[in-house]
Amino acid sequence: MTQTALILIDIQNDYFPGGSWEVDRMGTVAANAARLLGHARTTGDLVIHVRHEAGSDTAPFFRPGTSGAEINSAVAPQGAEAVVLKHRPNAFHQTDLLDRLRTAGVADLIVCGAMSQMCVDATVRAAADLGFKVTVVSDACGAKAASFGGMDVQASVVQAAFLAPLAMSYAKVVTTDAALSQR
């Protein structure tokens, strides 16, 4: 049984340039996630792709049955790699993710994907609360600019604002190069 799982969250076409909900630096995020994926495949780590699908055809992105809701080809699942379908930001919520991890004997999670301020954050916090040792790969995660209270917040600031508290209490936060050199 494997002790480590790579969780790739929502690296889906709608987040890329030309998609319905573009995330900053998504090409770089996917390239780094692909490096992590290649390494996991080589070492035999468990690989789980998480794919979000909206609950309505009128949603702004990840609409059911659209190419935008498909996992991007840069990190497409191969062979027996699992794809967990979710409908909420937390990939554990009403999915079989926890069962898959426990059945495989996983203790350590490496997490990458999008969006840092939504699905990555929600999933990492839940994973830590469930007792997993979590590593978040910062340059393999992407954030989207946001606005609140009349203030526009750049994607890089959103990224930092979410990864900093994760690093403080929920996960080890490292770059792709550091993650690969530690394994």
The 10s digit of each residue's pLDDT in 67-80 is 999 999 999 999 99
- For residue 82, the enclosing domain spans 4-181
Both tokens of residue 156?
Answer: 């890089």
Q: Over pLDDT 90: what percentage of the chain? A: 96
User: Per residue in 125-147, pLDDT tens?
Assistant: 999 999 999 999 999 999 999 99
Q: Say how many Å lie between the first and final Cα of the chain, rounded.
A: 17
- Residue numbers annotated as active site: 119
pLDDT at 2 over 90: no
pLDDT at 182 over 90: no
d(CA 101, CA 103): 6
Residues whose CB is less than 8 angstroms from the CB of residue 159 and which lie 6 or more positions away in sequence, other chains included: 24, 116, 117, 138, 141, 142, 143
- Residue 157 pLDDT: 98
d(CA 177, CA 139): 9
Three-state DSSP class for residue 67: helix
For 128-177, the three-class secondary structure string (H helix, E strand, C coil) is HHCCCEEEEEEEEEECCCEEECCEEECHHHHHHHHHHHHHHHCCEEECHH
39 in Cβ contact with 183 (< 8 Å): yes
d(CA 14, CA 23): 9
- Residue 160 pLDDT: 98
Backbone angles phi, psi at 167, to 5 degrees: -65, -30
Q: How many domains does the chain have?
A: 1
CATH code of the domain covering residue 95: 3.40.50.850
| Predicted structure pTM score | 0.97
Give the full edge-to-edge strand order of the sheet including 46-52.
82-86, 46-52, 4-9, 108-114, 133-142, 172-174
- Residue 54 pLDDT: 96
Both tokens of residue 88?
Answer: 């909420």
User: Per residue in 79-110, pLDDT tens?
Assistant: 999 999 999 999 999 999 999 999 999 999 99
